Amino acid sequence: MSEQNNDEREITLTVNGKTYRETVETRIHLADFLRLQLKLTGTHLGCEHGVCGACTILVDGEAVRSCLMLAVQANGSDVTTIEGLADGEELTPIQKAFSEHHALQCGFCTSGMIMSLTAYIAENPGADEEAIREAISGNICRCTGYQSIVAAGVAVAAK
């Protein structure tokens, strides 16, 4: 009930290199906080029950489903979203590989896919196809059939 749920807290966190001090409702999950409060709409909500992976972001370098974490839990964290990857107009190798391999169609799962692979390949350079498939097994794509996403991941991991 809203009258019981409008409990608010102040949080401080870094998002894409910028520090924010914000007052947030305790019930708001991190994805809604990023989208509604910080207007970072590149993080998408596909299921809001932690299965589709579209809302995946990095929290202190780890891939996290931002629909399963409350904004208040991110207090003091260093968060990276899809908007924080490119250096100006210069895309990261994974972003470029997605385009080269036609690893996106509608673009809705793409942010989460790229964030999952960014975290995974940083930890596992040289990962093979099976490992890349495993790495994105928590991200659902309805358009591509995954093959092109896996190819993009393998190409970057091999570099």
The CB-of-36 to another protein minimum distance in angstroms stands at 8
- Report CA-CA distances (Å) from 149 to 45, 58, 86, 101: 20, 19, 19, 7
The CB-of-45 to another protein minimum distance in angstroms stands at 8
Of 74 and 112, the one with the shorter C-beta distance to another protein is 112
Of 60 and 134, the one with the shorter C-beta distance to another protein is 134
- Report CA-CA distances (Å) from 63 to 6, 14, 16, 25: 29, 16, 14, 23
Q: Is 100 in the site for another protein (CB under 8 A)?
A: yes
Of 14 and 133, the one with the shorter C-beta distance to another protein is 133
Q: Is 147 in the site for another protein (CB under 8 A)?
A: yes
DSSP 51: S
Token pair recorded at residue 120: 């995974």
The CB-of-59 to another protein minimum distance in angstroms stands at 16
CA–CA gap between residue 126 and residue 115 (Å, rounded): 17
Of 76 and 86, the one with the shorter C-beta distance to another protein is 86
CA–CA gap between residue 81 and residue 17 (Å, rounded): 10
* CA triple 72-76-79, angle to 5 deg: 85
Q: Is 51 in the site for another protein (CB under 8 A)?
A: yes
Token pair recorded at residue 148: 């092109």
- Binding to another protein, residues 59-78 (CB under 8 A): none
What sign does the CA torsion over 54, 59, 64, 68 have?
Answer: negative
DSSP 49: S
Of 3 and 76, the one with the shorter C-beta distance to another protein is 3
- Contact residues for another protein (CB under 8 A)? 1-3, 5, 25, 27-28, 35, 40-49, 51-52, 54, 81-83, 85-86, 91, 95, 98-100, 102, 104-111, 114, 133-134, 136-137, 139-150
